[in-house]
Structure 1
Amino acid sequence: MALTIRERRLPQLHISLDAPSCAFRAPNPPAASTSASWGGEFRLSDFDRLAVLGRGNGGTVYKVAHRRTSALYALKVLHCGDPGAASEVDTLRRTDSPHVVRCHGVIPAASGDVALLLELVDGGSLDAVVGRQGAFPEAAIAEVAAQALSGLAHLHAIRVVHRDVKPANLLVSAAGDVKIADFGIAKVLSRAGDHCDAYEGTAAYMSPERFDTERHRDADPCAADVWGLGVTILELLMGRFPLLPAGQKPSWAVLMCAICFGELPVVPEGPASPELQGFVAACLQKDYTKRASVAQLLAHPFIAGRDVVASKDVLRRLVAGA
């Protein structure tokens, strides 16, 4: 019965199974950026569009060059009327973290569209890297997890929940820096105890409680970001989406059943240390009240016990394809 109810609701939801990546990536490192403000210092005519980096439901991302300085950026053009545009602009105004993609300014367009001038992260998304390189070594996974957690810690401290943590929304530079991107469905919590009750996001990375927000109105929305990170880490370890058997075609109903009622995949010994197994288990507790917090995960031995220099070097070489 519950499955039938959810299926009837599906046409009204803002949910994708696995949304296309709008990765802000380029083959060359960005030139030194110029300072910019939110107050309209730039105009669209100041930039040459060099390539399309990605397309998604919310807009199109271009690689652009500033005509006067030759500095390279990513320009995300948000379509007029997109409900996520205001959310993304509002969120990016609040953030100031090396682990969150930097926005240099908001540029209005004559069509009514809005363009975000973003830093260009030259290594692309983790989704693209795993597509090229396959499963990640554990040292690289530890570095990704540590930096993503630092970004989430900053967001949660300013009462922002991302709600769509997945490999396509985590960017990595050639220097091994990981940055959280794409805030189209992020929410700024107005007060303590505020909740997220919208059926939005990518179904494959949604936590169990987000499939039934009516029942779990009191769920901590930050816990859903931890679940998404856990699925992401497991995907990097396995080299494929981990919650369905290899080759199984996803559908909303299949994903909902797997996430809410299915057995989680066992992290294999050998490829994964006890520390990594424990970290994934702490992230992927179906009961959100038992799921680890971002602060607890930052102190987890898998993160706190890593060799920072060595793990970042492994990630750098992985992004470079070495």
Structure 2
Amino acid sequence: MTGQGTMTGKVFNGRYEIKDRIGIGGMAEVYRAQDSTLGRVVAVKVMLPQFAADPSFTQRFRQEAASAANLQSPYIVNVYDWGHDDDTYFIVMEFVRGSDLKTAIQQRGAINQRKAAEIGSQVCQALTVAHNQDIIHRDIKPQNIMVQPDGNVKVMDFGIARAKNSVNDKTSAVLGTAHYISPEQAQGKDLTAASDIYSLGIVLYEAATGKLPFDGPDAVSVAMQQVKDEPTPPSAINPDIDPDLEDIIMVALAKNPQARFATANDMRMALNDYLAGRPVTLPGGAGFTSARTQMIGAPVGVNTAAATAVMGGVAPVDGTQAMPVMHGGATSPSATGSFQATSYRDSHTAPKSKKPLIIAIAAVLAVALIAGIAFALAGGGATGEMVDVPNVTGKTQPEAKSELERAGFELGVVSSTFDENVEPGLVISQDPTGKAAKGSKVNLVLSQGDETVSVPDFYKMTPDQAKAAAEEVGLKAVERESGYSDSVEDGHIMDQSPSAGSSVAKGTEIEYVVSRGTELVQAPNVIGSTEEEAKSKLQAEGFGVDVRHDYSDKDKGTVFKQDPLNDKVKPGSTVKITVSDGPEENEVPDVSSGNMSESKATSTLKNAGFKVSTDSAYSSSVPKGNVISQSPSGGTAVPGSTVTIVISDGPEPTQEPTTPTTPDEPEPTPTPSPDDTDPGADTPDDPDDAQAPAN
């Protein structure tokens, strides 16, 4: 079984549907979920069973989740909701894309120191908001600082933060991660805002150098170093670090809380001064300036044996956990305010005296010897009576501890390992089993659930590349959907969930989104519109407009060309439009000299951009086939149109005049003149005889 499988598909409060697990910590698992009410993706943090079953924890959880929900800052992960469902406590938070700062440091080592300062400044702003509401984070570490794609950060896990004086822990233990807790936190003292400032100092130290100031094989040894050891100056690890940034880090790491920055806002201003190139203001006055940053001497008399006893054995180093209370045999300088001032820049290479270390070891051995003798005299430990050891496999640690103590045994070393067949937080095995001496210790091994791996970064990979990268670490890559992207080419991955660097169980499905490239859109067709109408329509849809003018036979002022016209383009592209200036006015060639043939005149006019119309007429002066006249006349400037030319048909032909006759009528007989009268002829007396028959 997988930790993810136990929750996938579950719906909290009838609203938050669990999709997949995106992370696991020492106290909770985090899942990606869908908020059905608001239709958005959220992150749901579900408390592990062993904590959900602890009444004191759940009481504090309810109060602190409500306090965290009131924190509003662009640099704090928003807490939307929290509740209790089916004996499980959960917190609903903003789903943040990006990767945590720890992953970035692990992948790159030391990061750019200016970027580290920018991150520190933003974290300081987040802490200022919380501290102003009397909320101490108590677990500032790079795992809780999400770096988003835009470079800004979001601080997470204010859900385990505690409002001052809210709920007292019965064991006086404190929550935190050994590598990043403050000295006062390791000693179980009341915490102030200065504790978060110390933890942020360690984060900046690690970011600027790529290394932690204190490290060890287990949480106890690391916590002891936080209390008593001075950190190696960052410049000894990274010689390129700016002295001002180094001073800011070392002030934040002062053992005495009063020697640190008074507020997170003071630290933010110092970081901003460094980023702006201004003189950096540090606490401590003129004496501090002359000696640069002053380091605080180590406290003495820390009771190592007592600390180990509180831890119950070796604890994991990296996770958030309940840290031991470290009571010293002598008063700590962090309590009295007294400390030895030394210039770390001048003295860090000098050999240290071994005398204090020998004294400390002797003191620890003496305390351990005395404690052992006293314990033996008091009759502690095993009695020698052999009794049955309860079988506590499958139980939570608190349940197992309670059952063992009822049977007369003590809880011994508690370790953990991955086991896909056992729920996280439950006992896998115990030693001894069967019978054992009453009063002896029983060691437990707890399940961490499935083995977790870091999610590869699929960004800009092809699906095949992503599947290969996922399979290499025991994960599965599956396509969720596709979308448009201006920065990722078509067919490559633009997003994924869980995000790169997240810790997930082996076998988890990593969903990815494939880019379809830039989304193309079609510009509106503005041909026939006026210039102003076209510009207004294109700009309203987000396009740029390139206006040009040219002659055309279209109405002046109207758009007659557009590029692109019907093709899809990127949003915001520029569209070229051409506005008509009306027909172009050309000078008409003179072809009417009488010496130009029709074909030559036509060719000349067409070459000049005119159309040609022809007519004809007789001319006695212009040879047949040549141009007699034209309209418009030659030399006239007119818009390109039609020129009419008149072609000569030659001279008009001549004709003889004729008298028309009426058909079917006889031709009249001419009347003879008196001179032609025959003397011998008779003059007719009857008028009817005046005309002879037409025979």
Q: Is the 8 A contact 1:159 1:190 kept in 2?
A: no
Q: Is the 8 A contact 2:29 2:46 kept in 1?
A: yes
Q: Is the 8 A contact 2:69 2:80 kept in 1?
A: no
- Correspondence 1:1-322 to 2 at 5 A: 43-67=12-36, 71-79=40-48, 80-81=52-53, 83=57, 85-109=61-85, 111-190=86-165, 198-213=173-188, 221-244=192-215, 249-268=216-235, 270-293=239-262, 294-300=264-270, 302-306=271-275
Q: Name the aligned partner's letter for residue 240 of structure 1.
A: K
User: Over residues 234-253 of structure 1, what are the superposed CA-to-partner deviations in whole Å (9 max), with x where a residue is unaligned?
Assistant: 11112232323xxxx43133
Q: Is the 8 A contact 1:185 1:201 kept in 2?
A: no
What's the CA shift for 1:74? 0.8
What's the CA shift for 1:189? 1.6
Judge which range, 52-61 or 276-285, deviates more: 52-61
Q: Is the 8 A contact 1:153 1:295 kept in 2?
A: yes
Q: Is the 8 A contact 1:124 1:171 kept in 2?
A: yes
User: Which protein is bigger by CA-based radius of gyration?
Assistant: 2
User: Over residues 16-45 of structure 1, what are the superposed CA-to-partner deviations in whole Å (9 max), with x where a residue is unaligned?
Assistant: xxxxxxxxxxxxxxxxxxxxxxxxxx9554
Q: Is the 8 A contact 1:87 1:185 kept in 2?
A: no
* Separation (CA, whole Å) in 2 of partners of 1:51 and 1:132: 25
What's the CA shift for 1:224? 0.7
Give the paired residue count. 255
The higher-RCO structure (CA 8 Å, 6+ apart) is 1
Q: Is the 8 A contact 2:96 2:146 kept in 1?
A: yes
Q: Name the aligned partner's letter for residue 261 of structure 2.
A: A
* Separation (CA, whole Å) in 2 of partners of 1:88 and 1:133: 35
* Separation (CA, whole Å) in 2 of partners of 1:103 and 1:182: 9
* Separation (CA, whole Å) in 1 of partners of 2:165 and 2:180: 25
Judge which range, 132-141 or 178-187, deviates more: 178-187
* Separation (CA, whole Å) in 2 of partners of 1:57 and 1:87: 20
Partner of 1:35: none
* Separation (CA, whole Å) in 2 of partners of 1:87 and 1:279: 34
3-state SS, counterpart of residue 263 of structure 1: coil
* Separation (CA, whole Å) in 1 of partners of 2:239 and 2:247: 14
What's the CA shift for 1:167? 0.8
What's the CA shift for 1:285? 0.5
User: Over residues 133-185 of structure 1, what are the superposed CA-to-partner deviations in whole Å (9 max), with x where a residue is unaligned?
Assistant: 33210121011100000001111100000111111111221122212211343
Q: Is the 8 A contact 1:87 1:184 kept in 2?
A: no
What's the CA shift for 1:65? 2.7
User: Over residues 193-243 of structure 1, what are the superposed CA-to-partner deviations in whole Å (9 max), with x where a residue is unaligned?
Assistant: xxxx64331122111122223xx55xx521110110000111111223232
Q: Name the aligned partner's letter for residue 103 of structure 1.
A: V
What's the CA shift for 1:307? 5.3
Q: Name the aligned partner's letter for residue 75 of structure 2.
A: H
Structure 1 residues 291 and 113, CA gap change in structure 2 (3 angstroms) = same
Structure 1 residues 136 and 108, CA gap change in structure 2 (3 angstroms) = same
Partner of 1:16: none
User: Over residues 49-72 of structure 1, what are the superposed CA-to-partner deviations in whole Å (9 max), with x where a residue is unaligned?
Assistant: 332111223221101233576522
Q: Name the aligned partner's letter for residue 272 of structure 1.
A: I
Partner of 1:17: none
Q: Is the 8 A contact 2:97 2:148 kept in 1?
A: yes
Q: Name the aligned partner's letter for residue 211 of structure 1.
A: A
What's the CA shift for 1:278? 1.0
The structure with more helix, counted as a fraction of residues:
1
Partner of 1:34: none
Partner of 1:311: none
Q: Is the 8 A contact 2:233 2:250 kept in 1?
A: no
Identity level (%): 24
* Separation (CA, whole Å) in 1 of partners of 2:158 and 2:53: 16
What's the CA shift for 1:190? 4.5
TM-score (norm 1): 0.71
What's the CA shift for 1:47? 4.0
3-state SS, counterpart of residue 97 of structure 1: coil
* CA-atom RMSD in angstroms: 2.7
* Separation (CA, whole Å) in 2 of partners of 1:75 and 1:95: 17
User: Over residues 288-312 of structure 1, what are the superposed CA-to-partner deviations in whole Å (9 max), with x where a residue is unaligned?
Assistant: 1111121321221x3234259xxxx
The structure with more strand, counted as a fraction of residues:
2
3-state SS, counterpart of residue 289 of structure 1: helix
Q: Is the 8 A contact 2:75 2:152 kept in 1?
A: yes
TM-score (norm 2): 0.34
Q: Is the 8 A contact 1:88 1:182 kept in 2?
A: no
Judge which range, 257-266 or 142-151, deviates more: 257-266
Structure 1 residues 147 and 206, CA gap change in structure 2 (3 angstroms) = same
Partner of 2:375: none
* Separation (CA, whole Å) in 1 of partners of 2:230 and 2:151: 33
Partner of 1:36: none
Q: Is the 8 A contact 1:123 1:172 kept in 2?
A: yes
Query: Which runs of 5 or more residues in structure 2 are unaligned?
Result: 1-10, 167-171, 278-498, 502-695
Judge which range, 134-143 or 69-78, deviates more: 69-78
Q: Name the aligned partner's letter for residue 297 of structure 1.
A: M
3-state SS, counterpart of residue 160 of structure 2: coil
Query: Which runs of 5 or more residues in structure 1 are unaligned?
Result: 1-41, 192-196, 309-318
